[in-house]
Amino acid sequence: MQRIHCGIVPPHLLTRLAALQDPRLSGASSAARHALLELDPVLRERSEALRAPVRRGSAIAGSLTRRIHDAGGREELPGEVVRAEGAPATGDVAADEAYDGLGSTYRLFSEEYGRSSIDGAGKRLDATVHYGSNYDNAFWDGERMVFGDGDGEIFGRFTASLTVISHELTHGFTQYSTNLEYQGQSGALNESLSDVFGVLVEQRDLGQDAASAAWLVGAGIFTPSVRGEALRSLKAPGTAYDDDVLGKDPQPATMADYVETTSDNGGVHINSGIPNHAFYLAATALGGEAWTGVGRVWYDAVLSGTIPPDCDFPTFAQATQDAAGRRFGVDSREAGAVAEAWTRVGVLR
Average pLDDT, the chain: 91
* pLDDT tens figures, 51-70: 455 555 544 556 999 999 99
Give me the pLDDT at residue 53, please: 56
Catalytic residue flag (residue 45): no
Q: In what order do the strands lie in the sheet with 145-147?
A: 6-7, 138-140, 145-147, 125-129, 66-70, 80-84
Single out the catalytic residue among 38, 97, 153, 168.
168
- Burial of 77 by CB count in 10 Å (0-12 exposed, 13-18 middle, 19+ buried)? middle
pLDDT at 42 over 50: no
Give me the pLDDT at residue 214, please: 98
* pLDDT tens figures, 173-229: 999 999 899 999 999 999 999 999 999 999 999 999 999 999 999 999 999 999 999
Give me the pLDDT at residue 5, please: 61
Catalytic residue flag (residue 269): yes
Spell out the domains of the chain, with CATH numbers in brackets: 184-344 (1.10.390.10)
Q: Is 217 left (phi over 0), alpha (psi -120 to 50) or beta?
A: beta
CB under 8 Å, gap of 24 or more: what pairs does 344-347 form? Answer: 344/254, 344/278, 344/281, 345/253, 345/254, 345/255, 345/274, 345/275, 345/277, 345/278, 345/281, 346/254, 346/255, 346/256, 346/274, 347/255, 347/274, 347/275, 347/278, 347/313, 347/314, 347/317
Single out the catalytic residue among 191, 269, 277, 289.
269
Query: What average pLDDT does the segment 282-309 reach?
Result: 97
Cβ 313 vs Cβ 275: under 8 Å: yes
* C-alpha–C-alpha distance, residues 36 and 136, integer Å: 9
* pLDDT tens figures, 310-338: 999 999 999 999 999 999 999 999 999 99
pLDDT at 154 over 90: yes
**What letter would DSSP give residue 256?**
G
Alpha helical stretches, state H, the chain: 11-18, 26-37, 43-46, 93-107, 162-175, 184-206, 264-267, 273-286, 294-302, 313-328, 333-344
Question: Which one, of 291, 159, 144, lies nearest residue 213 by Cα?
Answer: 291
Range with the poorest average pLDDT among 5-14, 151-160, 199-208, 250-259: 5-14
Grade residue 24 by pLDDT with cuts at 50, 70 and 90: confident
Question: Which one, of 127, 132, 130, 135, lies nearest residue 74 by Cα?
Answer: 132
Give me the pLDDT at residue 55, please: 55
Question: Which one, of 277, 273, 308, lies nearest residue 294 by Cα?
Answer: 277
